[in-house]
Chains A and B, each alone.
Chain A
Amino acid sequence: GAVVSQHPSRVICKSGTSVKIECRSLDFQATTMFWYRQFPKKSLMLMATSNEGSKATYEQGVEKDKFLINHASLTLSTLTVTSAHPEDSSFYICSAYVPQDRGNTEAFFGQGTRLTVV
């Protein structure tokens, strides 16, 4: 299957600092990527849809200014957690679809990033 790479896999940061998480589609171009947050023993919660060359679409209740998303190229989307607080500690996962011309638009996920804010 297609490969979506997410970096870093783990990060610890101090409260008040910002952290950037990268999501790359390695062998296909993705005009749309998705960012999820997952709490312990819970399912995935969609945070926002990242669109290449345009503004991201955020889900209700997700703070745009806290979770900055940039999708500057067809293979890279970034999520920046700004002024991080301990309650932002979580597991963040990105996803991208393989385009229709390559098949059935199957969704592939990155490895996830464990963010701990101390």
Chain B
Amino acid sequence: KQEVTQIPAALSVPEGENLVLNCSFTDSAIYNLQWFRQDPGKGLTSLLLIQSSQREQTSGRLNASLDKSSGRSTLYIAASQPGDSATYLCAVRRAAGNKLTFGGGTRVLVKP
């Protein structure tokens, strides 16, 4: 059974500092991995999608890496801003049409 873990559960940084969020999964046989952002009381916003054959994806200040063999993904957010404060969730999928297995999330607070 796939298990996804996100450490730390919460993170507080001053504005401008780079954020590093970790995601680990127990079964390396994944189809893809997705990072999401969730604001309080809202749905999930897709940030980055990494296919199993890819090593990283970038979008603006966000960069996500994937090391499938070691079961790890890292989300980097450069030059953090107060607006980056949210919960970040990673999720993996075993096959194209399968369900997502989520980590517990990392709550991020960026202090002005």
Contacts and interface: CB of A to CB of B under 8 A. Distances in A.
Q: Do A and B interact with each other, yes or no?
A: yes
Chain A contact residues (Cβ within 8 angstroms of B): what range? 20 to 34
Contacts of B89: 43-44
Interface in B56-83: none
Interface in A31-67: 32, 34, 41-44, 46, 49
B43 A112 contact: yes
Nearest to A106: B49
B43 A34 contact: no
Contacts, number: 54
Given A43-B103, A43-B105, A44-B102, A32 B97 contact: yes
Given A43-B105, A112-B41, A104 B32 contact: yes
Nearest to A103: B49
B102 A43 contact: yes
Nearest to A57: B99
Contacts of A91: 41
Contacts of A93: 43-44
A6 interface: yes
Chain B contact residues (Cβ within 8 angstroms of A): what range? 20 to 34
A6 B43 contact: yes
A1 B46 contact: yes
Nearest to B91: A107
A85 interface: no
B96 A43 contact: no
Most buried by B among A34, A43, A109: A43
A111 interface: yes
A97 B44 contact: no
A34 B103 contact: no
Contacts of B43: 6, 93, 109-112
Contacts of A107: 34, 46, 91, 93, 100
